Structures are given as structure tokens and as C-alpha cells.
Amino acid sequence: MERQIDEAARRFAETREQKYKLEVEQLASELVDLDHLAVLDDALHRCRGEDMRTPDVHAALEIENEEGRWQNLNASLNGIRRAVNL
């Protein structure tokens, strides 16, 4: 994925086309999500023997909670849109 980011960034630098900038942003966001999931996976495997209340685990959980809240809010908004025929 990092190689894809580098390639898209190179293309953006050469062409200044927004689609490459958006590709870099999307891939970078996905990479961050994967990093957070890796932190949580590691904590899950180590939690029986170690205290996993670390800043990294708290940050990863907070991001996952924020994304979950957004998904719930978005679902509610979609229901309202359907109800008022938007």
C-alpha cells in the first residue's frame, strides 16, 4: 500500500491532477485504519498476560468508536431522508 501511495504521489507531483491527490488521501486513510486494527489485534493477543491500557490502544479504540458513531448517525440520517422522500 505504501508503494501505491508513493506512485500516486509521484503522479500527482508530475501532473497536478486531483484524482491522484484523492488517491493518495484515500490510500493513506486506509493505511491508518490498518495500523489501528493491527494495534487492536496485538492488544487482543496480549491482553490476558499484560495490561493493554496503553495510549496506542486507547487511540485505536477511540478512532474505531468515532467511525462507529458516524455509521450509526449516517444510517439514521438515511432513514430520515427516506421518510421525507429526499
Condensed to tens digits (0 to 9), the pLDDT of residues 2-47 reads 899 999 999 999 999 999 999 999 999 888 888 888 888 888 888 8
pTM of the model: 0.61
| Dist. CA 36–CA 44, nearest whole Å | 12
CA 60 to chain centroid: 10
Question: Which pLDDT value is given to residue 23?
Answer: 93
DSSP 59-84: HHHHHHHHHHHHHHHHHHHHHHHHHT
Q: What is the Cα 41 distance to its own chain's centre?
A: 15
- By CB atoms closer than 10 A (0-12, 13-18, 19+), residue 19 is exposed
Domains of the chain: which residue ranges?
Answer: 2-83
